[in-house]
Structure 1
Amino acid sequence: MKKCVPTLALLFFAIALAAQETRLVQGTVTDGAQPLKDVRVQVLQGSETQAFTDADGKYQIRTGVGNLLQYSYNGMRDYVVRVEEGTRYLNLMMLPYVEELPEVTVTGSNRKTQKDLDIEYPVNPRIIRTAFGYLNADTAPGKVRLLSEEDIQPIGLCILDVIRNRFAGVWTTGNCQEGGDIVIRGPGSVSNQRVAVYDVDGLILRDAPIWLDVNQIKRLAVVSSIAYSARYGALGSGGVVIINTITGNPQGAKIKDQARLRNNYYKGDALDGAAVQNDLPTYLTELQEATTFDAAREVYNRYAGPYRSSPYFFLDAYRHFYDTLGETTFADGIIESNFSRFESDAALLKALAYNYQEQGRAEKALELYKDIFILRPQYGQSYQDLAVAYREMRFYDKAAGMYARYKYLIDENFLVESQEFSRIVQNESDNLLKVHGNQMGTDVRKIKTDPYVENTTRVVVEWSETEAEFELQFVNPQGQYHTWKHTYVDNEVRLLDEKLKGYSMEEQIIDNALPGLWQVNIKYLGNKSLTPTYLKVTTYYNYGERDQRKEVRAFKLAVENTWQKLLSINNPGNASIR
């Protein structure tokens, strides 16, 4: 039966009904060694429903699809998990909540003097030194956004690279060779093009310090508050970018191991595919050892009964028969006869769609993304996925229509916007119009795209399980790496944003700096359902150009807490991850 994407009228109704289905969610909560008793499991969003774990750490709670569950325990970090259509079991390991407080002496008043801040500066990353003295981000007038040295990617080319895409409402122009500007736009100031001034170790500069070695940056602050930037006079009308360097901080040199700060050279310790094979399930090992189709079919038939309740078994078998043996008809039969195990679970449908896209089976992938859209009309990701699927089928007008529909629902408050996700969607939408606009009757000369992503190698990573935690490591041709951490401990704000807005994707940009082979590694840390996570990596070459091309790879993540080599990217230009 053919599935149709709902019209706008039906879509509003579908979004309103999306969370009405209820189910029993159960699981176990531990501290990594022992079960935790009396962990509170509470339904958020106005509900009073809650449950507590027993002496074995077990709990049960009934809630609706789309609701958020919060896990709370004294002394432990709170966790928030979104209940989805496939959620039945949620098992958590809670970690201690540790807040490092600087050792300072407070005398007389809660208001700290410049001398107090000077003493506290080496150990409090919320303090930055300016041309007018120390500034405490927590007590300063207006909003101060800070990056510490651990947050600054050490292989960026210049300060423009460090700033790009790190702060909402902050834009950069130009490049690291010719220079550029940083524009800080406050609420409602879209037409305000005043550029920021720079305060580098107390030296005030009009032009962006592209000459500054980003490896030497200790702290960086973006200040848009008029109350503070007024100290810089007319120069500060566009806001201030404050930079403290390591060499410009004599106190910091006394308490920091400088080698540790930038010791980001890859040690070659990621497992390759052959090493990961040792952890394959028995049925997959036997399938790979079968030398003929008949032998492999016998293995499949022998295990199909015991694994009949596992959709992951059928996914593995499908990939083996399709990719390894080239038995496409038999492989498709495996999915067709077991599709009932997939059809009501968006995460499983995504896993299958990833495989179809890697295999170039765009029509089959499109049908699955339509199914996912019907299951998750309130997820921003559903619109992005369906737009890409339409584009792969060369239905460019329909792809553009999905982006327009997403923006309309944001404007009408039926969906909640995420700045992180909207940036990715904007890049995708702009690229669609620039590359295929002529075929859609659009004058591509009028399409303005983000210069940050133009003519780059763009890497888009998507994952099937929204609760998946992992670390991605990008190793450049010189052996230095940058790690993006998708973990609750390291990136809690981002993960909560994903749950609330409904997306599970990230983009990384490789631009014109270092030529050669890049290696992408991953350390999978698991998910709350104790099931495999499927990953899709789309690499775009010459992004936004006429000769733009892409490669799609799909991966099954099951081996945990071990660095594994994911793929290599042979960048045709000069490259630098930012």
Structure 2
Amino acid sequence: MKKLHFLLILLCLPLTVLAQDSRLIKGKITDGAEPMADVAVYVEGSGERIFTSSEGRYEIEAETGDVLVFSYTGMKEMKIRVEDVTRFLNFAMVPDYEELDEITVSGKLKSQLEMEQQYATNPRIIATAFGYIDADKAPGRVRIIEGERINPIGICILDYMRNRFSGVRVIGNCNDPQGGAVIIRTVGSLGNQAPAIFDVDGQIFDEVPWWIDLNMIERLAILSSYSLTTRYGQLAAGGVIVINTYNMTLPSVADRGGKRAKPAALSPTDIAANAPSYMEALQSETTEQGAKMAFEDYATRYSSSPYFFLDAYKHFYTVRRDRDYADEIIENNFGRFRSNPVALKALAYLYQEQGRDEMAREVYKEVFILRPAYSQSYYDMARAYRHAGEYSKAAAMFGRYQFLLQEGFLIGSTDFWLIQQHDSDNLFAKEGESLGTDMRLVSRDDYVQDATRMLFEWNDSEAEFDLQFVNPENGTYVWSHTLADNPGRIDDEKIAGYNVEEYVIDPKTPGTWQVNVKYHGNKSLTPTYLKVTTFFNYGTPQETRQVRTFKLFVEGSNQQLMTITNPGESSTSN
């Protein structure tokens, strides 16, 4: 790894500007199933437009910092900010539904237990296979009809729903219910509008439950927003109709006896079964020499992929325990990483997971040189210095970030600022005496103090995924990091230059938590690396830190990351 006068680079940073590097960006656009032709693609602010071919493909010139706009009638407009590493952008567009009478969400969101307790008296709460939803707090439109307003007059659900809701189309009737369907989304997969599925008292049906006695319906709700139906997976491409009957057994949050099962997730064994062929070859070799020969053979075929060398490095370091050979793999092929900040961050993640903090620090320096205008470059360097025992340099880097932010050389973000401030405060609280800090001036945030704090970081800013947290009562919370559901957050990350999210588990909620991820891809054919740093007893003398790194490459399925025993015990992987 080349040696650089890093201090000189730090001093020159205020004069640094990003070079405008015009380049050709390519990709393919689909609707999730089929290629989309005639999608308008253009640089925001430019009058020139191109359109995708019959195969959904496009090519367009753009510069770092440009915003590419993808537009098609009936589909949600997508805006993607071009970064230094952007070369390919492949993704699926999603329908854009006209939302009428939207509800403004305000105030504190209710917990699952609160909604369970209020279900009997609040007609705006519905029970689904994945927990309760309060229509007044939901991240999307929920249309509800109470049972007392349903006048069945001897008909089935098909004829009742016909003409009852605007924008809803019913196929079939009560005289011939077989093959009937309800269409609640005006735009589905091109040329193929998907019918809605039914969630009846927590049981999911992909055919119309025409046999339901309408007199027994307590609440009927229509969910068409992707943010509300994502948990049902591709099955809910046409939306969901939720029916709660008077005979429903409420899915008690407090019941640990099995009325609500934990969401299914792929285990590490399942993930390994989907690994590249070269990993199978490396793992099947019974001798170390055989594994080295297999590596050399595959290295000629994968010579352009830094991710192949990352996989090989981890295999020899962790499985074969030949650390010298593992280090040789990186040293001999570091040129494949040097100009790629995304691959470099993945390497740094692995070093940190292995406790090789000094090596991680050197890699983060390389990223810093490539991305001096990214807020996270300062954050990563500050923490890398700290974990390598260089507390003064860590403090100086936090201070440097604040100075450049105040002077306007960096673009700020409220979300990111709070996360880095927690780490800065923690550094001075723990190492303040050695830094000559007046301990009376050190601030503490009660939100994170004494808690289990989790930091999620991903190396590729184009990565789309859902983080799922399952509490000890099997209630779930999902944070969606997708263009369809969270475009504002993703654009904020690219403008300020950060890829990190913080979650805190309150010490008053003891027990075992499960953390899953559903990966949706990163608009290219490369994997995404997700680093999870867990702090137990944060901010106390008993504070401990654990780093785990996960390679995300299986799209569309829940992947189990880890379980967390809160509080006081180290997290473990199942």
Query: What is the TM-score with the length of structure 1 in the denominator?
Result: 0.72
Which residue of the partner structure matches residue 439 of structure 1?
Answer: 434
- Matches of 1:490 and 1:216 in 2, distance apart? 17
Q: Give the residue type in structure 2 aligned to 1:12.
A: P
Unaligned runs of at least 5 residues, structure 2: 116-121, 123-130, 139-143, 150-217, 222-242, 254-259
Query: Retained in 1: the 8 A contact 2:451–2:567?
Result: no
Does residue 512 in structure 1 map to residue 507 in structure 2? yes
How many Å apart are 1:445 and its aligned residue? 3.4
Q: How do 1:384-533 residues align onto structure 2 when only pairs under 5 Å count? A: 384-533=379-528
Does residue 64 in structure 1 map to residue 57 in structure 2? no
Q: Give the residue type in structure 2 aligned to 1:11.
A: L
- Matches of 1:5 and 1:71 in 2, distance apart? 42
The Cα offsets for residues 247-305 of structure 1, whole Å up to 9 and x where unpaired, read as xxx99x85556789988744351121112222111110121122221111111112111
Task: Tell me the secondary structure at the aligned position of residue 466 of structure 2.
Answer: strand
The Cα offsets for residues 36-62 of structure 1, whole Å up to 9 and x where unpaired, read as 223222223x55565332232221122
**Which of 314, 320, 325 is matched with 1:319 structurally?**
314
- Matches of 1:51 and 1:402 in 2, distance apart? 44
- Matches of 1:156 and 1:335 in 2, distance apart? 52
How many Å apart are 1:218 and its aligned residue? 6.0
Q: Give the residue type in structure 1 aligned to 2:274.
A: D
Which residue of the partner structure matches residue 41 of structure 2?
Answer: 41
How many Å apart are 1:311 and its aligned residue? 1.4
Which residue of the partner structure matches residue 27 of structure 2?
Answer: 27
- Matches of 1:66 and 1:464 in 2, distance apart? 18
Task: Tell me the secondary structure at the aligned position of residue 333 of structure 1.
Answer: helix
Structure 1 residues 349, 416: CA separation in 2 closer, same or farther (over 3 Å shift)? same
How many Å apart are 1:428 and its aligned residue? 1.2
Does residue 10 in structure 1 map to residue 12 in structure 2? yes
- Matches of 2:8 and 2:80 in 1, distance apart? 28
The Cα offsets for residues 66-106 of structure 1, whole Å up to 9 and x where unpaired, read as 3322222222112222323322211121111112324xxxx
- Matches of 1:341 and 1:156 in 2, distance apart? 53
Structure 1 residues 13, 152: CA separation in 2 closer, same or farther (over 3 Å shift)? farther
Task: Tell me the secondary structure at the aligned position of residue 86 of structure 2.
Answer: coil
Q: Give the residue type in structure 1 aligned to 2:325.
A: F
Which residue of the partner structure matches residue 330 of structure 1?
Answer: 325
Count matched residues.
Answer: 453
How many Å apart are 1:479 and its aligned residue? 2.0
Q: Give the residue type in structure 2 aligned to 1:280.
A: A
**Which of 356, 375, 380 is matched with 1:361 structurally?**
356
Q: How do 1:169-568 residues align onto structure 2 when only pairs under 5 Å count? A: 219=136, 265-568=260-563
Structure 1 residues 554, 439: CA separation in 2 closer, same or farther (over 3 Å shift)? same
Structure 1 residues 379, 278: CA separation in 2 closer, same or farther (over 3 Å shift)? same
Structure 1 residues 338, 75: CA separation in 2 closer, same or farther (over 3 Å shift)? same
- Matches of 1:302 and 1:75 in 2, distance apart? 49
How many Å apart are 1:309 and its aligned residue? 1.4
How many Å apart are 1:436 and its aligned residue? 1.2
Does residue 81 in structure 1 map to residue 80 in structure 2? yes
Structure 1 residues 217, 525: CA separation in 2 closer, same or farther (over 3 Å shift)? closer
**Which of 125, 143, 149 is matched with 2:103 structurally?**
125
- Matches of 1:216 and 1:280 in 2, distance apart? 37
- Matches of 2:250 and 2:532 in 1, distance apart? 30
Task: Tell me the secondary structure at the aligned position of residue 523 of structure 2.
Answer: coil
Which residue of the partner structure matches residue 571 of structure 1?
Answer: 566
- Matches of 1:263 and 1:56 in 2, distance apart? 49
- Matches of 2:449 and 2:395 in 1, distance apart? 20
The Cα offsets for residues 387-415 of structure 1, whole Å up to 9 and x where unpaired, read as 11111111112112222222222212222
How many Å apart are 1:498 and its aligned residue? 1.3
Q: Give the residue type in structure 2 aligned to 1:53.
A: T
Task: Tell me the secondary structure at the aligned position of residue 266 of structure 2.
Answer: coil
- Matches of 2:544 and 2:56 in 1, distance apart? 50
- Matches of 2:308 and 2:46 in 1, distance apart? 38
Q: Give the residue type in structure 2 aligned to 1:125.
A: I
Task: Tell me the secondary structure at the aligned position of residue 292 of structure 2.
Answer: helix
How many Å apart are 1:153 and its aligned residue? 5.0
- Matches of 2:376 and 2:355 in 1, distance apart? 21
Structure 1 residues 218, 513: CA separation in 2 closer, same or farther (over 3 Å shift)? farther
Query: Retained in 1: the 8 A contact 2:81–2:491?
Result: no
Q: Give the residue type in structure 2 aligned to 1:415.
A: L
Structure 1 residues 535, 444: CA separation in 2 closer, same or farther (over 3 Å shift)? same
- Matches of 2:569 and 2:387 in 1, distance apart? 28
Task: Tell me the secondary structure at the aligned position of residue 23 of structure 2.
Answer: strand
Structure 1 residues 30, 404: CA separation in 2 closer, same or farther (over 3 Å shift)? same
How many Å apart are 1:435 and its aligned residue? 1.2
Query: Retained in 1: the 8 A contact 2:507–2:567?
Result: no
Which residue of the partner structure matches residue 232 of structure 1?
Answer: none
Structure 1 residues 261, 50: CA separation in 2 closer, same or farther (over 3 Å shift)? farther
Task: Tell me the secondary structure at the aligned position of residue 433 of structure 2.
Answer: helix
Does residue 52 in structure 1 map to residue 29 in structure 2? no
Superposition RMSD on alpha carbons, in Å?
3.2
Higher relative contact order (CA 8 A, sep 6+): 1
Structure 1 residues 384, 444: CA separation in 2 closer, same or farther (over 3 Å shift)? same
Query: Retained in 2: the 8 A contact 1:513–1:573?
Result: no
- Matches of 1:574 and 1:556 in 2, distance apart? 25
Query: Retained in 1: the 8 A contact 2:507–2:566?
Result: no
Task: Tell me the secondary structure at the aligned position of residue 432 of structure 2.
Answer: helix
Query: Retained in 2: the 8 A contact 1:81–1:499?
Result: no
Q: Give the residue type in structure 2 aligned to 1:419.
A: T
Q: Give the residue type in structure 1 aligned to 2:435.
A: M
- Matches of 1:378 and 1:487 in 2, distance apart? 24
Q: Give the residue type in structure 2 aligned to 1:308.
A: S
Which residue of the partner structure matches residue 112 of structure 2?
Answer: 154
- Matches of 2:544 and 2:415 in 1, distance apart? 24
Structure 1 residues 156, 353: CA separation in 2 closer, same or farther (over 3 Å shift)? farther
Query: Retained in 1: the 8 A contact 2:262–2:470?
Result: no
Structure 1 residues 61, 6: CA separation in 2 closer, same or farther (over 3 Å shift)? farther
Task: Tell me the secondary structure at the aligned position of residue 561 of structure 2.
Answer: strand
The Cα offsets for residues 512-551 of structure 1, whole Å up to 9 and x where unpaired, read as 2222222111111111112100010000011011121100
